[in-house]
Amino acid sequence: MTSAPSTAASFLTTEASRALGEALGDGTAVAGLRASGAAALDGLAMPSPALDRPWKYVDPAALDLDGFTPPGTDSAAWDEALPAGALLLRDGATAGRGPSIDGLTLADFAETPDGALDRLGEAVAFDGDQLTALHYAFLRGGVLIQTKANAEIAEPVRLTREYSEAGTLATPHTLIVAGVNSRLTVIEEYRSGDEPLAVLPAVELLIGPGAVVNYTSLHRWGARTRVFAEQRAVTERDADVRSLSLVTGGRLVKSHITSSLEGRGSSSEMYGIAVGAGQEHVDFYTLQDHVAEDTRSDLLFKSALGEQSRAVYYGLTKVGLGARRADANQENRNLLLSRAAKADSDPVLEILTNDVTRVSHGATAGPVDEEELFYIQSRGLTREGAVGLLVRGFLGEPLDRSALREGVREELSGLVEAKLTALGSGT
């Protein structure tokens, strides 16, 4: 490890980690990982923008967690009734829950029986770097979403996490375990206020044989929130995972999104949408990791950037020696809505077998195309209206492909719309 700046600053110590675990009354699985994370804090470095490629465009100052305090341990006031399959957490504490659904476990880690969390940490390891160690050392607000074999959960599970405690480190953890041949849709929504906040979310998706999981994260963070998210899906045989990451707010939202296709015949679709304004920095690192034979992956990430915002996309498609007949596609498109906006795009292929069905990638960044504008204007729409239509179409494509049910699609497109309207891009 390198001599990166030591964080684990003042308040985020091994002792503080232990105290948090005691106050929360950790079960076995969480206690073990918390201790491992805490023990690893000093030995692991912070990611280095100078040395670690996925971190290249992150301001090192953004990684300085000095002064941030561990998550609080207060319980939350119970919220009004929520619909079935909904769970609300405020500052890491459960604050509301809808009626339960057959075949589905939706629970705070603290409520789960012994053994239910055996697979915690399987997809996102505690010792990736100092940030993942911090995540586990200060884990607060873990949620288990688990389906029984063959369960088909018709309604989307809605997990909402709100943060309002200024100056804290937030560490949401979502563990999704899909049983054999089950069907599950999860929509996780993150929100925070305008106070400074650092968030280290981890999302683990363990997709059993033949299971189909659709996972959407809505990043609606406040203007002074910085986020370093780890999301990793691991598929078993013939499993399908589809994910969408929608970012409409946050000072810095950096997401690492991985699908490890470990089961033969499994597939992954990853979609990303970001609308940037002000000084916002949206940063995606994606990994399509083809491990097994006959695996398929597709990816489309799109950003529309206004004002001085910037988007970074660094995506890796890996086709391992054993991943014969892999089919992988990776596409990143960026639309610059102002001269000061900026996009960096770097799709990379790493192919170890020569027996692939298809491996392709593409990237673009630029302003709205003048010929497209002329075409649309020639049909009577003003220039502003034409820009608006093009931007909405541009961002609508990954939304369409996410195949979310109609009501949810409308809701998400409403979030995009609100952000675009605030940007003043078209009508």
Interface with another protein, residue 392, by CB under 8 A: yes
Q: How far apart are CA 115 and CA 28, in angstroms?
A: 8
Within 60-155, strands assigned E span 86-90, 93-97, 104-108, 142-147
Interface with another protein, residue 377, by CB under 8 A: yes
Interface with another protein, residue 397, by CB under 8 A: yes
Yes or no: say if 130 and 44 are a contact pair by the CB < 8 Å rule. yes
Yes or no: say if 301 and 308 are a contact pair by the CB < 8 Å rule. no
Interface with another protein, residue 410, by CB under 8 A: no
Q: How far is the CB of 262 from another protein (least distance, A)?
A: 33
Interface with another protein, residue 385, by CB under 8 A: yes
Intra-chain end-to-end CA distance of the chain, in Å:
51
Residues 258-277 binding another protein (CB under 8 A) are none
SS3 assignment, position 120: coil
Interface with another protein, residue 102, by CB under 8 A: no
- Count of residues binding another protein (CB under 8 A)? 25
Q: How far apart are CA 401 and CA 48, in angstroms?
A: 35
Q: How far is the CB of 212 from another protein (least distance, A)?
A: 24
Q: How far is the CB of 342 from another protein (least distance, A)?
A: 23
Residues 351-370 binding another protein (CB under 8 A) are 369-370
Yes or no: say if 135 and 166 are a contact pair by the CB < 8 Å rule. no
Interface with another protein, residue 103, by CB under 8 A: no
* Minimum CB distance to another protein smaller for 78 or for 374: 374
Stretch that binds another protein, among 34-42, 118-126, 290-298, 376-384 (CB under 8 A): 376-384
Task: Out of 386, 387, 412, 416, point to the residue binding another protein (CB under 8 A).
Answer: 386
* Minimum CB distance to another protein smaller for 36 or for 377: 377
Give the x-and-dash track for 312-351 against another protein (CB under 8 A): ----------------------------------------
* Minimum CB distance to another protein smaller for 380 or for 407: 380
Interface with another protein, residue 400, by CB under 8 A: yes
Cβ atoms within 10 A of the Cβ of 323, count? 25
Task: Out of 43, 99, 362, 393, point to the residue binding another protein (CB under 8 A).
Answer: 393
SS3 assignment, position 17: helix
Task: Out of 89, 261, 395, 416, point to the residue binding another protein (CB under 8 A).
Answer: 395
Within 100-168, strands assigned E span 104-108, 142-147, 157-163
Token pair, residue 186, equals: 């999860």
- Strand 225-235 to 281-290 pairing: unpaired
Q: How far is the CB of 400 from another protein (least distance, A)?
A: 7
Interface with another protein, residue 421, by CB under 8 A: no
Find the helix or strand (DSSP H, E) in which 205 lies.
strand 202-207
Yes or no: say if 258 and 241 are a contact pair by the CB < 8 Å rule. no
Interface with another protein, residue 406, by CB under 8 A: no
Yes or no: say if 259 and 297 are a contact pair by the CB < 8 Å rule. yes
* Minimum CB distance to another protein smaller for 111 or for 372: 372
Token pair, residue 321, equals: 């020696």
Stretch that binds another protein, among 90-98, 210-218, 290-298, 385-393 (CB under 8 A): 385-393
Q: How far is the CB of 153 from another protein (least distance, A)?
A: 28
Interface with another protein, residue 257, by CB under 8 A: no
Token pair, residue 340, equals: 């000061």
Cβ atoms within 10 A of the Cβ of 150, count? 13
Stretch that binds another protein, among 2-10, 185-193, 199-207, 377-385 (CB under 8 A): 377-385
Residue given tokens 């280095």 in the structure block: 48
Q: How far apart are CA 360 and CA 163, in angstroms?
A: 40
Helices (H), 72-126: none
Task: Out of 66, 100, 150, 383, point to the residue binding another protein (CB under 8 A).
Answer: 383
Yes or no: say if 308 and 339 are a contact pair by the CB < 8 Å rule. no
* Minimum CB distance to another protein smaller for 311 or for 376: 376
Stretch that binds another protein, among 13-21, 109-117, 315-323, 379-387 (CB under 8 A): 379-387
* Minimum CB distance to another protein smaller for 160 or for 345: 345
Angle separating helix axes 383-401 and 406-423, nearest 10 degrees: 140
Binding residues (CB under 8 A) for another protein: these are: 369-372, 374-383, 385-386, 389-390, 392-397, 400
